[in-house]
Amino acid sequence: MLAQRFRSLALRLQRALGSIPACQGVPKLLPSCVALQLCTAKNLTSSEFKQSDANQRKTSKAQLETIHRADTGSSSSVFTAGAASKRAESAKSRMGVEMADASTVTKVTKTLVPLKPLNVDDWKKLKKESYNKTRFAVSMMEKLLSARADIDVAKSLLVFVTMESGTVEYELLLKYLALCVQQQHLTEVLDLYVMMKSRFKVLDIGAYSLFISGFCKTDRWREAVVFLESIKKLVTPSPRNYGDIIISALQHKEVETAWILLKEMESKNLKPTESTLQTFFDHGKSFYDDQYENKIMYILFYLRNNQIYPGEGLMHSIHSWFESIPGNQWKGHETTILQSGECPICNTLLESIQLSTEEYHMLRDCVMNDIIQGTDTFKKTTPQELQHFQTFVKNHLPFDVVIDGLNVANIAPKGNQSRILLDVVSFLANRNMRLLVLGRKHMLRGTRSWDKGHMAEIQKYADCFFTENISEDDPFLLYATIHSGNHCKFLSRDLMRDHKACLSDQNTRRLFFKWQRGHQLVLSRYNPRKRMKFEIISRYDTIVQTSHDTWHIPYDEEGVERCSYEVPRKWLCLRKHN
Amino acid sequence: MWLRVAHFFQTFAGLQLKTCVKNKVPLIKCQFMPPHRTLVLTSCIKNEEKKVSPDKLDLDIWKTVMKETALETPNLCPSEDPVDSFSAATRELVQMWRLAGKAVPENLTEEQLTIVQELPSKSAKKKYLKYLAIKEGKKKATKEKQKIKQEQAKYQKEKENEGGIELRNTFLLQFWQRSFDVMYNWRAAQSMMFGQPLIFDMSYESYMARREMENTISQLLECEGFNRRSLDPFHLYFCNMIPEGSYHKEFLKRYGDAWDRLLITVTEKSYVDVFPKDKLVYLTADSPSVLKSFQHDKIYIIGSVVDKSIQTGLSLANAKRLKLATARLPLDEYLKWDVGAKNLTLNQMISILLTVKDTGNWQEALKFVPKRKHEGFLPIPEQKYCNQSKSYQNKTRIDKGPIKKTRRQKSTLSQGVERSSDRKRWWLEED
């Protein structure tokens, strides 16, 4: 008990200390003016920022660009790919060695698999020694499957089973089929199909899927469509099933069949696999016509509309497809976009992160209906409180920054909470920002961590609204920010994922995420009374996009783990030379 | 003689040589093999080389055997009716899944089949079928156990009969279950007149899926049973009960005729219409205030809902709407919480309330909290309310902070944890 308490104390200490180097992950190379520019408001300039700004002017423009280029790669915000895994890693390292040990121990598996086909007697001997005698054949076949053993071994096992029981069970046949598909023994797959068709009236979905992927590699790929139909009768087929057929249709130059299937997938809300899309680009090189180009464009817009980011393999395929177009000279480069939103290769300005007016109105309504009211207004607040808040906001609009008081106050593990909040508020207020601080009523009660004097001072600097102690403050934060207009930002470290989940459909969720990336300020560094630094808000939207002679496609790097609330950093820039 | 010995030595040396060669062969082989562990069957390979070379081993013989047997099975002609064929196809699919070694039940009733068909996705179907398979397995196991028991009882009876019936002199006739039931019903009837009311709020029909509703009813059944058996039962109220609603239907299915003879009050009315508002206390795990002691003049409300999808603040919203007092059990104050949600099942709730009502002792009452959820009782919980010392606050912070951090998956950065614990702690600073 005592030891545990001590350990948890140590952990806390570590966490407190650990947060400092984590914050310094933002490279020192980065001139503060860059950070400032991207903080969107020029009012944020602190004295030291100004100083470095003056220095900056002396440097030539070319130099500036090189600095930019160096920086864009490493400057990261909460939303860039890999940020979450980095955070998790540092947390893990702080947790100590125990975790690492657990992961190394796991993979010790015994695979006692014969390497050569055995005869019946040897199998008998093996079975006698085996642990599970009733399911010996099936479990052995599973082992063969996972060890990618030679097919002859599996065949000899089947011979043994038939000799012993006179027949082969469905489960064993299925496993054998999986083995054949895995190792591309296509004649065997066809044989098995004849056998299973005669023996069983219907097959299960797993068998159909295996036959689809087996048949698709042979000349009889058209029959796979029949299997797909029989799956459709029972359940929705998986994207893999569709993908297998589409790929083989494209390989046999039947673009229309592939296209119809892709459209069908879209109508069923299935997301095509990466390799499916990749084949469209890979096979487009051999036969180029306008119709096909239209299809490719459709796919690219599909990626855009569904906010799908291609992986590195697909990116290369897209790249080479564009470069293979006869006549037009498309040139592609892999790059990172400057913080100003400009592509360093072709100097095009990327799409802004700001929402259009209709989108903005739609999001505003959705936030009100889905996040704040939801099915029951009483869940997050009360109607009276909501009414009160709405009139309050109406009378005080517009704000420049809306601050999540409780989130900001807890930014540093040590220190007085009201003190931290006061620091942040006064920092922002000194830059002539209209502020709104959201909090809960218990903050006003005057306790050890919430000093009454501090709170009074905060109220001098900013408008404050205190919700009931059992109400949620995040919905109010979103409401106030959205109603203040497009220029208004909010300050919180919360990623708002639970609120995003309240939204009804995928499209509004995407809108919300885009708005969040453009409007969320995150304190990246805070030392009491020393420095305060905000994470960079990107000016451009990370999405597949085109202008009349360029395409910009963000893609996922290999080896970088990207969370759902992060966006890739790397881009493919495609430009047409005339 | 000498010759013989020499001969013996010769053969011995020859044997040794042979074994040497034998031992060496696998060693050499190992060098060329992949690094993972494999079963080396040298003797088998040797046999094969002698008897049949791998080419001679007929690997496709099983196919011919299979084809021969395949002819025997007759092909059923598919039915014509499209609706019928759909359900037949589903049935066949389930059967094939069973053959493929998936966890599906052997027999499906028509009702279950329609449920399977209505489920939207493949995974939902698989999950439901797995649930049915487990249920079926359990049923079979109990049946088997019963059979064994019956046989044993029969055997025992025969044995006793052999000995002859022995007459005994007793003060009482055998005390049958019937007599117990009469006694329990007396108590329940008494509580309906003079007992303290306990309300189950049945207004959550629309929030629950089918399985959750079934679970809720099972828990309510257990609640009623436990209450009836207690020394001083509550007067149970089922409020907001819609006639012919899904609660009602499920109750009728489970209780049968006994539903009309139950000694509880079932009403369509809301609890605020039946009782004065200031007496009502809504018990919910989301409540900010703690139930410090059980009060005998209050009327407690329990929301009869099982939410597997974790809909936070569901019952708190109801209480807020009607402006009722709320309370949660003092779990954090008495127990060192480990895992699991703080919302307890309905039968655990009623057991806790009955015990605390009878004894007033939280330690005793909270023994009904599942053991897996906590690590044990905290040493002297009463002190916490007496002195709101700083040391206590610090201690809880240190104790709970890191543990929570590993378990919680909130959308905030690491600081979010601090905040949420702050959310939990503010009531301590209240008074």
- Is the separation of the CB atoms in A189 and B77 below 8 Å? no
Alpha helices per DSSP H over B195-258: 210-229, 246-255
The pLDDT of residue A385 is above 60? yes
Mind telling me how many Å the CA of B67 is from chain A's nearest CA? 7
Report which residue type is found at A533.
K
| pLDDT value of residue A47 | 39
Question: Who contacts B186 (Cβ-Cβ below 8 Å, separation ≥6)?
Answer: none
B63 contacts A407? CB cut-off 8 A: no
Contacts of B414 in chain A (CB under 8 A): 15, 19, 87, 91
Q: Is B232 helix (H, G, I), strand (E, B) or coil?
A: coil
Would you call B61 and A159 a contact, using CB atoms and an 8 Å cutoff? Answer: yes
Contact B101 A138 (CB under 8 A): yes
SS3 content of chain B, % helix, strand, coil (to 5): 60, 10, 35
Chain B CB contacts of A156 below 8 Å: 57, 59
Partner residue facing B89 (CB), from A5, A156, A234: A234
Average pLDDT over residues B124-152: 94
Chain A residues whose CB is inside 8 A of the B65 CB are: 162, 166-167
Work out how many CB contacts closer than 8 A connect A with B. 182
Residue A442 and residue B426 in contact, taking contact as beta carbons nearer than 8 Å = yes
To the nearest whole Å, the CA of A346 is away from the closest chain B CA by: 37
Summarize the confidence of residues A119-132 as an average pLDDT. Answer: 81
Give CA angle at B397 (B394, B401), nearest 5°.
Answer: 160
Share of chain B above pLDDT 70, in %: 69
Query: Which residue do the tokens 């014969």 mark?
Result: A114
C-alpha distance from B317 to closest chain A C-alpha (Å): 5
Residue appearing with tokens 């950070």: A35
User: Do A479 and A515 meet the contact criterion of CB atoms below 8 Å apart?
Assistant: no
Q: Which of A39-43, A103-107, A490-494, A552-556 has the lowest mean pLDDT?
A: A39-43
Report how far residue A482's alpha carbon sits from residue A484's, in angstroms, rounded to the nearest whole number. 5
Q: Does the beta-carbon distance from A442 to B429 stay under 8 Å?
A: yes
pLDDT for B139-183, tens place per residue?
999 999 999 999 999 998 888 777 666 777 888 777 788 888 999
| Cα separations in angstroms, B113 against A372, B84, B103, B180, B211 | 40, 12, 16, 42, 16
Q: Does A166 touch chain B (CB under 8 A)?
A: yes
Per DSSP, the three-state class of B269 is coil
Q: In this complex, do A493 and B401 lie within 8 Å of one another by their Cβ atoms?
A: no
Tokens standing for residue A252:
């046999």
The larger pLDDT score, comparing residue B340 to residue A65, is at B340
Alpha-carbon torsion (A451, A454, A460, A463), positive or negative: negative
Helical pair B82-99 and B110-118, crossing angle rounded to 10 deg: 90
**Contacts with A15 from chain B: Cβ below 8 Å:** 402, 414
In Å, what is the CA distance from B36 to each residue of A112, A123, B11, B32? 10, 22, 39, 12
Q: Find which of A140, A234, A522 to mutate to test the B interface (most B CBs within 10 Å of its CB).
A: A234
Largest separation between any pair of C-alpha atoms in chain B: 119
Judge whether A35 is closer than 8 Å to chain B, CB to CB: no
- CA–CA distance, A309 with A80 (Å, rounded to integer): 13
Query: Bridge-partner residues for A575, per DSSP?
Result: A331, A550
- Can you list the alpha helix ranges (DSSP code H) found in A147-254? 151-165, 170-182, 186-199, 205-215, 222-234, 239-251
Mutate to test the interface with A, among B85, B412, B425, B428 (most CBs of A within 10 A): B412
Angle at B350 between CA B346 and CA B353, to 5 degrees: 135
Look at residues A550, A490, A498, A548 and name the one whose alpha carbon lies nearest to residue A523: A490
CA B293, chain centre distance (Å): 31
User: How far off is chain B from A511, nearest CA to CA, in Å?
Assistant: 18
Mean pLDDT of B328-347: 90
At residue A536, the 3 state secondary structure works out as: coil
Sign of CA dihedral A7, A12, A15, A17: negative
Give the closest residue to A371 by CA, choosing from A508, A224, A219, A210.
A508
What share of residues in chain A are helix, strand, coil (percent, to 5)?
55, 10, 35
8 Å CB contact of A378 and B422? no
Instruction: Sort out which chain A residues have CB atoms less than 8 A from B424's CB and list them.
Output: none
- Judged by a CB distance cut-off of 8 A, whether residue A236 touches chain B is yes
H or E, element range at B385: helix B382-386
**pLDDT over 90 at B35, yes or no:** no
- Of the candidates B44, B54, B89, which has its C-beta nearest A122's C-beta? B44
The residues pairing with A490 across neighbouring beta strands, listed in sequence order, are A402, A520
pLDDT in tens, A259-315: 999 999 999 889 999 999 999 998 887 777 888 888 899 999 999 998 899 999 999
Contact B192, B263 (CB under 8 A): yes
pLDDT of residue A20: 41
> Are B414 and A91 inside 8 Å of each other by CB?
yes
Side-chain half-sphere CA neighbours of A70 within 13 A: 12
CB pair distance less than 8 Å for A167 and B69: yes
Binning pLDDT at 50, 70 and 90, where does residue A242 land?
very high
pLDDT value, residue A77: 74
B208 and B305 Cβ atoms separated by less than 8 Å: yes
What percentage of residues in chain A have a pLDDT greater than 70?
83
For the cut 90, the answer to whether the pLDDT of residue B101 exceeds it is: no
Distance from CA of A79 to the nearest CA of B (A): 12
Position B375: which residue type?
Answer: E
Phi, psi of A469 (to 5 degrees): -65, -25
Instruction: Give the mean model confidence (pLDDT) for residues B118-127.
Output: 88
Cα separation, A363 vs A369, whole angstroms:
10
How close is the nearest chain B Cα to the Cα of A301, in Å? 28
Pick among B93, B121, B398 to test the A interface (most A CBs inside 10 A): B93
Distance set, CA B65 to CA A129, A188, A189, A197 (Å): 27, 16, 18, 16
At B423, the pLDDT band (50, 70, 90 cuts) reads very low
Of chain A, the end-to-end C-alpha distance in Å amounts to 75
- As to burial, measured by CB atoms within 10 angstroms (0-12 exposed, 13-18 middle, 19+ buried), residue A63 is exposed
Mean residue pLDDT of chain B comes to 76
Q: Contact at 8 Å (CB) between A372 and A382?
A: no
Residues on chain B touching A203 (C-beta within 8 angstroms): 96
Which residues of chain B does A11 touch, with a Cβ-Cβ cutoff of 8 Å?
402
Nearest to A110 among B37, B75, B399 (CB): B37
Rounded Cα distance, A297 and A318, in Å: 11
CA A147 to chain centre: 33
- Collapsing DSSP states into helix, strand and coil, what is residue A572? strand
Cβ-defined contact of A112 to B398 (cutoff 8 Å): no
Nearest Cα of chain A lies from the Cα of B203 at a distance, in angstroms, of 14
CB within 8 Å: A12 and B398: yes
Q: What is the pLDDT of residue A93?
A: 77
pLDDT at A196: 85
Of B57, B89, B318, the CB nearest to A117: B57
The tens digit of pLDDT for each residue in A363-381 reads 999 888 888 888 788 888 8
